């Protein structure tokens, strides 16, 4: 389907959740439930748990990385993140969860065409390593 740039290596597969707007994990996601709790986000109340989270970019606070780590470790986080724009805060969270807990959590940046082809609930496979990244349907 599409190639991308790996920010953090890993492999994951799951149903996509395509967000209309960027999301900050700090104050935007409840790490205990995996639900979007940002009252200003258009997808307030949706659950990120077990999803390949697809969003334009991350948003906001550097504390987002710690909330991402907490949610992944608790099993309430997404299984991968695919974005149009790179986000060092999201990447940091994925690196920290790998180093602290041995959990490989892929973070990938894709081009506009690949990004626009992804739909909520479609099964998406993400593979990222030093050689590159792929995002595939099915």
Q: Which structural domain, as residue segments, surrounds residue 56?
A: 2-137
- Answering whether pTM is above 0.85, one says yes
What is the tens place of the pLDDT at every residue in 7-41?
999 999 999 999 999 999 999 999 999 999 999 99
In total, how many domains does the chain have?
1
Q: Which CATH number belongs to the domain containing residue 103 in this structure?
A: 3.50.30.10
Q: Which of 24, 57, 61, 65 is catalytic?
A: 61
Note if 61 is an active site residue: yes
Cβ atoms 75, 41 nearer than 8 A:
no
The predicted-structure confidence for 121-135, as pLDDT tens digits, reads as follows 999 999 999 999 999
> What's phi and psi for 35, nearest 5 deg?
-90, 145
């Amino acid at each position: 389907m599409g190639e991308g740039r790996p920010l953090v290596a890993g492999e994951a597969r799951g149903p996509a959740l395509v967000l209309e707007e960027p999301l900050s994990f700090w104050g935007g996601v409840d790490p205990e439930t995996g639900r979007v709790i940002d009252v200003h986000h258009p997808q307030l109340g949706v659950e990120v748990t077990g999803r390949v989270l697809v969003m334009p970019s991350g948003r906001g606070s550097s504390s987002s990385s710690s909330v991402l780590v907490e949610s992944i470790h608790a099993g309430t986080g997404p299984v991968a993140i695919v974005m149009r724009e790179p986000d060092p805060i999201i990447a940091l969270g994925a690196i920290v969860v790998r180093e602290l807990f041995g959990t490989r959590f892929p973070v990938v940046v894709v081009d506009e065409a690949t990004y626009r082809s992804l739909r909520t609930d479609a099964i998406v496979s993400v593979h990222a390593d030093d050689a590159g990244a792929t995002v595939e349907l099915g």
